Amino acid sequence: EVQLVESGGGLVKPGGSLRLSCAASGFTFSSYNMNWVRQAPGKGLEWVSSITGSSSYIYYADSVKGRFTISRDNAKNSLYLQMNSLKAEDTAVYYCARDTQYYDILTGHTVRYMDVWGEGTTVTVSS
Amino acid sequence: SSELTQDPAVSVALGQTVRITCQGDNLRTYFASWYQQKPGQAPILVIYGRNNRPSGIPDRFSGSSSGNTASLTITGAQAEDEADYYCNSRDSSGNHLVFGGGTKLTVL
């Protein structure tokens, strides 16, 4: 069964740090790009960061750039999100999501979507 | 602009057809994907690419695109379709992803 399981969430004070983990199983982890997506309480989904299968390319939303670091360990089938200098507005449920892509011949573009999601881990930043 | 705009709320009578739209300049270049999220649950993918459904998604869900607008259509809405729906695509760089603000679907 294809599965993603996040862990590492918790309560942290403003300015503090936290490291989230996402354990993957049931698929060849190294063959897929991965994403972190978050959802603040009562709000919509927000893409946070992406990493390619070989870690060659990494991207961040402007809201977290310079504070968060995405990484992966393909030997351990694990994805990570190191969160530093946390702010109250980082309070959210954090999901990891598998990124699947294919080439669309008609448009000449790569179709990209998130087809597997974890259940999420909750991060609360509060004093 | 890299934003995706969705109507905050839409309602549909049981068994009727509803269209949820997503507007954004980058949809002229990139396909949207659509996600369903029920309260307290993780999102699930319902439509991707030209009009593709993952395994297990009922065929009453379909997708289309025209110009800067992507649409998710539910033909014969069921009570279990009541949920929040989010579109997602790439920004102008092609490397970042962006979500629409979400549409809350109520089935009456």
Above 60 in pLDDT, residue B1?
no
Going by their DSSP bridges, the two strands A78-83 and A18-25 should be labelled as: antiparallel
- Here the tokens at position A125 are 């930043």
The residue of chain B nearest to residue A105, with distances taken between CA atoms, is B50
For residue B48, the 8-state DSSP code is B
Flag whether pLDDT at A55 surpasses 60: yes
- Residues A11-23 pLDDT 10s: 999 999 999 999 9
C-alpha to C-alpha distances, A65 to A21, A54, A109, B17, nearest whole angstrom: 19, 20, 27, 41
DSSP single-letter state for residue A90: G
Hey, which residues 6-65 in chain B have their CB within 8 Å of chain A? 29-31, 33, 35, 37, 42-45, 48-50, 54
Q: Is B10 exposed, middle or buried (0-12, 13-18, 19+ CB in 10 A)?
A: middle
Of the candidates A104, A83, A102, the one whose C-alpha atom is nearest the C-alpha of residue A94 is: A83
Q: What is the mean pLDDT of residues A28-37?
A: 98
Determine the residue type at A58: I
What residue type is A105 in one-letter code? I
What are the pLDDT digits (tens) for A106-125? 888 889 999 999 999 999 99
Report pLDDT for B2.
64
Tell me what percent of the residues of chain A surpass a pLDDT of 90. 94
Q: How far apart (Å, rounded) are the C-alpha atoms in residues A52 and B16?
A: 41
Q: What is the mean pLDDT of the segment spanning A38-65?
A: 98
Q: Which of A113, A114, A116, A117 has the highest number of chain B CBs within 10 A, making it the mutation to test binding with B?
A: A113
What is the tens place of the pLDDT at every residue in B17-49? Answer: 999 999 999 999 999 999 999 999 999 999 999
For residue A41, count other CB atoms closer than 10 A to its CB.
9
d(CA A85, CA A97) in angstroms, rounded, equals: 24
